[in-house]
């Protein structure tokens, strides 16, 4: 199979070809590897090759709904036994997984052939994919721009045609942000739906979840079926899975929905005209399809939510760094400065303050639930502007110097109590202010690729659903995909 034919099919389509014996898993794998070797030098999407492992697997008898389909894992928590999991960090350059993660095992049970791991920023803490360990990953639509993060490597690989779907995860927007930047479909599932075991009961108190980025809605729906159709016996929840499959939900008409939309940043920060236009375009399309669309937004204190999110984010970063130092002997210099500052900020927060911030998640969740009593879905920009240029969000040299000095003097505890620190926290979230709401509330949300900027860059629109609304989101996404197809668009690499 040559690349032009391979690119015509999504993962469901490739699996059908294998099932009919019109193509072999080995042939698909070699086509995917050839495409990776052709474009990865320009993209830096795949940071660890697993070609030998994949070739051995492709030569075996495979079964499952995705038998023989090439696949990539995100290099963060999606562990593959015997293979390095680097998490974008120099501190984990020699870390080898001792067993498969639950999601990886389910992907393997579905017959997928994993042949590599994709780039992520260190510990997935940024909305771009640039790390000291693996370098910058680039957007296939314009190599000067970011593919987003933290699943930027996976999104770049899918957009570039290496695979039709790839592993991703989302703790603050990390499925939806790169989907928005790369012209892909990205769905963040509900809290507790996808297993996080065996190393974790849940990630980030349930704010984070695994999933995929894909070119087609039906691939994401079928992948969700693979991940959730049976419960995790060691997990903290028994997820409420609908009677019909997610794949079937994606084939159904959504009916007439009531959708509230806003383009206001919950932080009160600027939103680019292109991001506003992306939402307006989506609203016009929804109106044409018979949905009731009107301006509306939940009564959520966006600034407080951002602070509560960062309190958790800093604490998790501190715990991650401490555990890696304990188990590997890594030194402070093995971690990036920005993450060391987040960890230092966490150590200045007292336990009662952390508990108070965590308990406020309930306030945010109930405010969003009140919105969903009136509207089926919330429509917003996925990100506040077009994908930024590579290096645009690097910490300036003067601030890096000041940060190093503060860490050495151990004065970061005083710094994080200041207005300047809080202003900087909000400024760091300003490019991606819309996605954390779904994470803290545990609600499903998706980015749909309906818009292109004047410069030709993708820019997604986000839909946030109520509790357990994945079937509605998938049905609507399929309707939008049929009305304005996007899967055949291909960057000129």
Q: Check if the beta carbon of residue 435 is closer than 8 Å to that of residue 263.
A: no
Phi and psi at 272, nearest 5°, equal -65, 145
**Residue 58 CA to its chain's centroid (Å):** 27
Question: Is the N-terminal amide bond of 150 cis, ω within 30° of 0?
Answer: yes
Residues 6+ apart with CB under 8 A from 216: 10, 12, 164, 185, 481, 487
46-49 and 70-74 strand pairing: unpaired
220 class by beta-carbon count within 10 Å (0-12 exposed, 13-18 middle, 19+ buried): buried
Q: Check if the beta carbon of residue 211 is closer than 8 Å to that of residue 474.
A: no
User: For residue 208, what are the β-bridge partners?
Assistant: 203
Residues 6+ apart with CB under 8 A from 304: 360, 364
Catalytic residue check, 408: no
Catalytic residue check, 150: yes
Q: Check if the beta carbon of residue 270 is closer than 8 Å to that of residue 277.
A: no
Q: DSSP alpha helices (H): ranges in 169-216?
A: 176-182
Choose, from 150, 154, 249, 478, the residue flagged as catalytic.
Answer: 150
Write the DSSP string, 94-131: T-B-SS--HHHHHHHHTT-EEEEEE--SGGG-SSS-EE
User: For residue 463, what are the β-bridge partners?
Assistant: 379, 446
User: For residue 117, what are the β-bridge partners?
Assistant: 48, 73
DSSP element (H, E) containing 315 = helix 302-328
Choose, from 89, 131, 151, 174, the residue flagged as catalytic.
Answer: 174
- Nearest CA to 267 out of 141, 423, 160 is that of 423
Sign for the CA dihedral angle at 307, 312, 313, 319 comes to positive
Rounded to a whole number, what is the distance in angstroms from the first to the last CA of the chain?
20
Q: Which two tokens stand for residue 167?
A: 């592993």
Choose, from 74, 77, 126, 188, the residue flagged as catalytic.
Answer: 74
Rounded Cα gap, residues 71 and 75, in angstroms: 13
Q: Which two tokens stand for residue 382?
A: 């996925």
Catalytic residue check, 74: yes
Q: Return the active site residues.
A: 74, 150, 174
């Amino acid at each position: 199979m040559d690349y032009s034919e391979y690119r015509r099919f999504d993962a469901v389509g490739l699996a059908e070809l294998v099932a009919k014996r019109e193509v072999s898993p080995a042939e698909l794998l070699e086509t995917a590897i050839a495409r990776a070797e052709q474009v990865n030098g320009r993209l830096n999407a795949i940071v660890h090759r697993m070609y030998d492992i994949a070739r051995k697997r492709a030569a075996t008898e495979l079964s499952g709904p995705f038998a023989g389909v090439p696949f990539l894992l995100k290099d963060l928590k999606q562990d593959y036994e015997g293979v390095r999991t680097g998490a974008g960090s120099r501190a984990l350059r020699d870390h080898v997984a001792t067993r498969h993660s639950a999601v990886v095992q389910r992907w393997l049970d579905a017959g997928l052939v994993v042949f590599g791991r994709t780039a992520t920023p260190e510990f997935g803490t940024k909305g771009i994919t640039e790390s000291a360990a693996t370098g910058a990953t680039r957007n296939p639509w314009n190599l000067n721009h970011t593919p987003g993060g933290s699943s930027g490597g996976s999104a770049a690989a899918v957009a570039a045609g290496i695979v039709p779907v790839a592993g991703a995860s989302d703790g603050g927007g990390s499925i939806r942000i790169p989907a928005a930047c790369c012209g892909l479909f990205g769905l963040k599932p509900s809290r507790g739906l996808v297993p996080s075991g065996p190393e974790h009961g849940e990630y980030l108190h349930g704010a984070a979840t695994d999933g995929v980025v894909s070119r087609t809605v039906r691939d994401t729906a079928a992948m969700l079926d693979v991940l959730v159709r049976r419960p995790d016996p060691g997990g903290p929840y028994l997820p409420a899975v609908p009677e019909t499959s997610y794949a079937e939900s994606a084939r159904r008409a959504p009916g007439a929905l009531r959708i509230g939309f806003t383009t206001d940043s919950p932080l009160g920060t600027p939103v680019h005209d292109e991001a506003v236009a992306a939402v307006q375009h989506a609203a016009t399309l929804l109106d044409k399809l018979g949905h009731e669309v009107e301006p509306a937004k939940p009564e959520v204190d966006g600034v407080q939510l951002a602070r509560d999110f960062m309190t958790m984010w800093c604490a998790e970063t501190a715990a991650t760094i401490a555990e890696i130092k304990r188990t590997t002997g890594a030194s402070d210099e093995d971690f990036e400065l920005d993450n060391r500052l987040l960890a230092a900020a966490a150590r200045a927060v007292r336990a009662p303050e952390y508990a108070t911030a965590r308990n406020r998640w309930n306030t945010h969740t109930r405010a969003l639930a009140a919105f969903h009593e009136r509207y089926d879905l919330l429509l917003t920009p996925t990100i506040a502007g077009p994908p930024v240029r590579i290096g645009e969000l690097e910490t300036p040299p003067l601030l890096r110097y000041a940060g190093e000095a503060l860490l050495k003097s151990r004065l970061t505890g005083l710094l994080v109590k200041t207005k300047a620190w809080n202003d900087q926290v909000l400024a760091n979230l300003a490019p991606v202010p819309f996605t954390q709401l779904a994470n803290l509330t545990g609600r499903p949300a998706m980015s749909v690729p309906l818009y292109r900027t004047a410069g030709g860059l993708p820019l997604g629109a986000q839909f946030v659903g109520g509790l357990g609304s994945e079937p509605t989101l998938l049905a609507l996404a399929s309707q939008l995909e049929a009305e304005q197809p996007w899967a055949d668009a291909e960057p000129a690499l």
